[in-house]
A and B are shown apart, each in its own frame.
Chain A
Amino acid sequence: MMIPRRTLLGVALLGGAAALSVGLVCTPTTANPGAQARIGGAAPGFTLTDTSGKQVSLADFKGKTVVLEWTNHDCPYVRKHYNGQAMQGLQKKWTDKGVVWLSVISSAPGEQGFVTPEQANKLTTDRGAHPTAVLFDTKGDIGRTYGATVTPHMYVIKGDGVLAYMGGIDDKATTRLDDLKTAKNFVDTALDEIAQGKPVSTTTSRPYGCTVKYQS
């Protein structure tokens, strides 16, 4: 399902003007073709556009711990984590400590979870979220490279660029708000362990949630 680079570039150039005119930023995404996200390996690099139209690269954050959160605000599982204030809490706790938190939207235009930059900013304000940036992966290339299957699908990358965690956000694969209280949050644990210089104890878990609404 990887789209050849040449096609990508062509689409990006051709569609650039049209995309801008409908107020949507079509991103010339770059990913190492064939690169796969693997625990203990280098996290695949990327450059994506954020809600202000700025280019954001993984390489910009060398030396910092980076969290990737695949999101779709209408997905019942994502709603559980935002309605329960859990996601925002986690974002605030760790961005305050210098961790970079990138929320990634891979929903294609017309699909659930697809938003314009303005809508994305409004969602951040309305929900009291604290991501470092919200990034658009409209073509889904980065999502596919990382193997993101669901929302919320979580990745933690250490300062040296090594992927330290991938999988679900916690161990309660439900949409019930009550479960937030008893769930074991794998991302929080991984970030704690990285902060203390310890190896990450749980490096993978079953990602749960709604299917990422990729461009088909």
Chain B
Amino acid sequence: MRRMRSAAIVLLVLLAVVGWHTPLRAAAPADDLVKADLLAEPAAIAPGQTFWIGVRLRMKEHWHTYWRNPGDSGEATSITWQLPQGFTAGPIQWPTPNRIPVGPLANYGYDGETTLLTQITAPADLAPSADVPISANVTWLVCEKECIPGEASLSLTLPAVAAGQTPLEGNAGMRSLFEAARATIPQPSPWAARMDVAPDTLILRAAAKGLKPEAIRSAQFFPFSETLIRHAEPQTVAVTDAGLSLELPRSALTIGTPKDARGVLVVGEVIGASTARHAFELGDVAIATAAPIGSAGMILQAALFALLGGLILNLMPCVFPVLSIKVLSLINHAGQSARQLRLHGLVYTAGVLVTFLGLAGALLALRAGGAEIGWGFQLQSPIAVAVIAYVLFAMGLSLSGVFHFGYSLQAVGGNLAHRTGLSGSFFAGALAVVVATPCTAPFMGTALGFALTQPAAVSLIVFLALGLGLALPFLLLTLAPQLVRRLPRAGAWMETLKQALAFPIYATVAWLMWVLGQQVGPSGLFAALMGLVLVALAAWSFSIWQTSGIWGRRVAAAVAIASVATTAVALAGLQRDRVDASPTTQAAAAAGIEPFTQRRLDELRAENRPVFVNMTAAWCITCLVNERVALSTDAVKSAFAAGKIAYLKGDWTNRNPEITRILERHGRSGVPLYLLYAGADEPVVLPQILTAATVLQEIDRSLQRRADLTTSAKE
């Protein structure tokens, strides 16, 4: 029965081939230019099944048909489906195109042969035993130098079967044809992408961190939009720590900000003596305008949001105590002259604004350098997190009364009229910003998100508005002394309140330690926690120094200095203990993948277990693609599980002599390297470019050999 069906399908396919035609002016020998046929991967369709159909176009030598964006001229091939009721067809899954230069222009398309794949889904209520006719009207433009339009009506019929009734694979030839066709479709991009828009150029930035410049031989961007770039002009590639960037000459045909910056990025990576060409679909490209594009209204709105966000920041657990203390100091000195009060308010505001400007400046400078960072970047460094935690902790201890700091109640009170008092206010402003950095308030995200797409001047305005919002409550109090008089009278309650305010600060410290725990390993976290103890020791010594006699002071000062110094040493150690919390590592752990060590490999081999070794690196694109298309597919994963194959993954992102030795032993100077140990003998070295089929085949072969060995050993 099956054979008959297959024969029928072959016949239908043949008929489809014969049935194609090109209505055209009689003079054109269009018939030999394109041979079109319709192919189906499965031999039969089950209800609800999604399957692949291909339109194969075979062009005469030197003639080409076009990609979805044909480039400077030409026209994309189009397919119109006629399907039975309930069937749905997806879009054409375009193969990666080639760049075809035509005189001073360039086209994107296919020479020789291409198969345009489409996924079709059958309805869930498909009646078995029905015949399913599938027809496609295909129109194309085929060009060498001159162009000739053509079209064909293609059709085939597939039998319908009940779900699970028969294996649905087509014949092996068809299967490998579709396998090959699928391999030409670009992979979804593993990297976030951004397009910086300037009047004459576009800069595409893919956040492919840690790529090695010498390993990238070429890069080419194929935009989906016909009017985005000047197709014929060269694209300049640059590889930095932040990733890969391509400078694209902008087309005059798009005026203003382009709406669609999606496309396909093709990267040529050097692997040993050859080059691997990888295509990634950038389906989501953020468009960032480098030029001042925000209207005055948008800037105003962002500034307003930032102001609101700043105001709300005052209520955050980390900032609230700082503000409260400033207010308490006002109450204590309600009798001060209005001028003095105002001065303090202004100096505090200046402290806030200057610190915000510094922070914004650092952020913008880093971004200009290509770093993909936003607000909260300061928390990406474990050292910064620890420093902020220590400052907050010291502040908390001061509130709890362990020691009296420069800006504390009495000290500020005593010197309010003096310069030290003013610098205290400035310092309080700066401190408010520093302790505010771990927090984000409502409205802030929108405002800062907008600010970072804008030119520096606009960004700074938004940051200043945020700072002003933060400073505003205190500033208003000092500008309106009558408000201060409305506050409760000074008294012992203030000391109690002050002590209570220490607790939100301790809570913030605890949260920061948790953040740190995500960034560093257990020993790093221990060092950071010991740092807290040392901060407490320094604070306590400081209080002794403030109150004791000459010898006590000397000892206390020595202890304080020593503990601060030790804390600094502990901090320096944090960076070294950074854990690589990349998603791949986490996912790997979840999927039963063990990190590679020579010892573990030796153990497994001693146990006579089959082992698969994957030597990879974060900067190796080929490795990444191989994992996506082959190693992490369900078929391969289940084959590993079924064969009880241990999976060891070696990360060569950083220097690792053990991995280097394995690479050298197999004649390689770099990754990827894939080894499959079937038993105690030498491993099979898999190719550097993998497909699921290759891996499955090798697994089968190795397990077979292993079985043979076992049998012969028994005999």
Contacts and interface: CB of A to CB of B under 8 A. Distances in A.
13 contacts: A36-B252, A38-B252, A39-B252, A75-B147, A76-B148, A147-B252, A150-B72, A206-B226, A211-B72, A211-B105, A211-B107, A212-B73, A213-B145
Nearest to A39: B255
Given A1-B104, A206-B227, A211-B105, A175 B149 contact: yes
A53 to B, nearest CB: 27
Contact of B73 (A37, A144, A209): A209
A112 B144 CA distance: 12
B253 interface: yes
A144 B232 CA distance: 12
Interface residues of A, number: 32
Contacts of A211: 72-74, 102-103, 105, 107, 143, 145, 147
Interface stretch (A18-26, A166-174, A188-196): A166-174
Given A36-B252, A74-B146, A210-B146, 10 more contacts: A38-B252, A76-B147, A166-B253, A203-B255, A204-B255, A207-B253, A210-B147, A211-B72, A212-B103, A214-B104
Interface string A141-163: 00010010110000000000000
A149 B73 contact: yes
B64 to A, nearest CB: 12
B141 interface: yes
A-B residue pairs, 4 tightest by C-beta: A211-B73, A149-B72, A175-B149, A206-B226
Nearest to A215: B103
B111 interface: no
A208 interface: yes
A37 B104 contact: no
Decide if the interface of chain B is mainly helix, strand, loop or mixed. Answer: loop
Given A149-B105, A167-B253, A208-B75, A111 B227 contact: no
Contacts of B141: 76, 175
Interface of B: 72-75, 102-105, 107, 139, 141, 143, 145-149, 226-227, 252-255
A216 interface: yes
Contacts of A75: 146-147
A68 to B, nearest CB: 15
A57 interface: no
A205 interface: yes
A202 to B, nearest CB: 10
A207 B227 CA distance: 9
A216 B103 contact: yes
Contacts of A174: 75, 139
Nearest to B227: A206
Decide if the interface of chain A is mainly helix, strand, loop or mixed. Answer: loop
A207 B102 CA distance: 16
A216 B103 CA distance: 6
B227 to A, nearest CB: 5
A45 B152 CA distance: 45
A204 B256 CA distance: 11
Contact of B253 (A1, A144, A206): A206
Contacts of B145: 111-112, 211, 213
A208 B255 contact: no
A205 B253 contact: yes
Given A75-B147, A76-B147, A214-B104, A204 B73 contact: no
B372 to A, nearest CB: 32
A144 B105 CA distance: 10
Nearest to A37: B252
Contacts of A203: 255
Contacts of B102: 211
Contact of B252 (A173, A204, A213): A204
B74 to A, nearest CB: 8
A144 B233 CA distance: 13
A30 B239 CA distance: 42
Contacts of B105: 149, 211-212
Contacts of B255: 39, 203-204
Nearest to B76: A173
B185 to A, nearest CB: 24
B147 A204 contact: no
Contact of B146 (A36, A37, A112, A208): A112
B272 to A, nearest CB: 37
Nearest to A214: B103
Given A150-B73, A210-B146, A204 B254 contact: yes
A106 B187 CA distance: 40
Nearest to B148: A76
Contacts of B254: 204
Nearest to A40: B255
Nearest to B102: A211
Nearest to A151: B73
Interface centre among A205, A210, A216 (most CB of B within 10 A): A210
A214 B139 CA distance: 27
Nearest to A2: B104
Contacts of A74: 146
A112 B146 CA distance: 7
A204 B253 contact: yes
Contacts of B149: 76, 175
B72 to A, nearest CB: 4
B104 A144 contact: yes
Nearest to B226: A206
A177 B105 CA distance: 27
Contacts of B139: 174
B367 to A, nearest CB: 30
A166 B252 CA distance: 9
A90 to B, nearest CB: 21
B1 to A, nearest CB: 44
A74 to B, nearest CB: 7
Contacts of B103: 211-214, 216
Interface centre among A36, A75, A206 (most CB of B within 10 A): A206
B165 to A, nearest CB: 43
Nearest to A75: B147
Interface centre among A37, A74, A175, A214 (most CB of B within 10 A): A175
A69 B602 CA distance: 75
Contacts of A207: 73, 253
A42 B255 CA distance: 16
Contacts of A175: 75, 141, 149
A150 B143 CA distance: 13
